[in-house]
Amino acid sequence: MIDGDAVIVEVGLNEAAMRAQNAHVAYSPSECAADATRCADAGAAVVHWHARDAETGAPRFGDVALYAEALELMRAGSDLLAYPTYPVDLPVADRLDHVWTLGTEHGLELAPIDIGSVTNVLWDATDHDFFGVDLLGDAAVVDNPLSFTLGGLARADELGMVPTLGAFDVGFTRTMVLLTESGRLRPPVFVKIFLSGAWAVGPFPSEAALDFHLAQLPEGLDVEWVAVPYALDDPARVERLCRHALELGGGIRVGIGDNPAAFPDLTNAELVERALGWCADTGRPVASAADVRERFGLSPR
């Protein structure tokens, strides 16, 4: 736990959100960096972002040059921690190549490593039906076999990077615990617990779902967990889930990338300001980027 029970506030900067959903979605490296800096100024310690085509917003999830440009600009504007995504359409052995290059050549500190595979299920709550089934193609399944996770953890450890783990379902959280028991994942562990809506992966997004994830954690496990309300269109539910996480001692992630339909008019910095208000209501301070670095044994900036 960070000293003083301080809250890690992370931002899902842009994900796959488009400007038709929210005009403030960042595409280019300079836009991503400027947005991240505003979030840092507002009080966020960690930012997650996706490389996108500067004009169309199309995904460029493994583009080293786009990530490197954004990362350098972010570092010039703040001391926050930032980490990218990775393309799932590449062979497992190549999927994190850009992460390792960014770590060795550009000082990336966090390595995104997910700990399980999921079938992409997209749900339209208005029409009460699935959508995008024929469009997903090779992306219909996010294939993250155990070999991918083990290889990623080993390489991150070799490079002195901290794994930031994504738990999209309860079984992922169980696997994370087993990884620590095996010695392949060294505490303190940094894990994001996704509570997903229209991306219908894992249990229905509710307080009970978060409780069930946390019930998998053995007493004494040194872990920093962050709740991620995701693909939701109801801002009240996002707030409710975040407040529940705060009451339970966790961190929270906000962002127009995560929930563009819930926040069609707000900026990421405005969402961070809201999050800080929720933290204040629960009486918990907010962790700085320096606090997070110290917690995970990273060098200060």
CATH number of the domain encompassing residue 170: 3.20.20.70
Between the two ends of the chain, the Cα-to-Cα distance in Å is: 21
Is the per-residue pLDDT at 136 higher than 90?
A: no
Residue pLDDT, tens place only, 240-265: 999 999 999 999 999 999 999 999 99
- The half-sphere exposure of 171 on its side-chain side, counting CA atoms within 13 A, is 6
The count of other CB atoms within 10 Å of the CB of residue 283 is 8
Structural domain contains residue 289: yes
Total number of domains constituting the chain: 1
pLDDT at 138 over 80: no
pLDDT tens per residue, range 87-102: 988 888 999 999 999 9
Q: DSSP letter string over 204-223?
A: -SSHHHHHHHHHTSPTT--E
Q: How confident is the model at residue 288 (pLDDT cuts 50, 70, 90)?
A: very high
Residue 243 lies in a domain: yes
Q: What is the pLDDT of residue 226?
A: 98
In angstroms, the CA 36 to CA 179 distance is 31
Geometric angle at alpha carbon 262, from 33 and 196, rounded to 5°: 90
**More confident position, 15 or 89:** 15
In a domain, residue 79? The reply is: yes
185 in any annotated domain? yes
Backbone φ and ψ of 266, nearest 5°:
-85, 160
Q: Is residue 300 part of a domain?
A: no
Confidence of residue 301 (pLDDT cuts 50, 70, 90): confident
Is residue 293 scored above 80 in pLDDT?
Answer: yes
Tell me the C-alpha distance between 217 and 236, whole Å. 28
Residue 162 lies in a domain: yes
Q: Quick check: is 301 in a domain? A: no
Q: What is the pLDDT of residue 108?
A: 98
H helices within 43-136, ranges in order?
64-77, 97-106
pLDDT in the model for residue 19: 97
* Domain span including residue 82: 3-295
Q: Is 273 exposed, middle or buried (0-12, 13-18, 19+ CB in 10 A)?
A: middle
Q: How far is C-alpha 287 from the chain's CA centre? A: 16
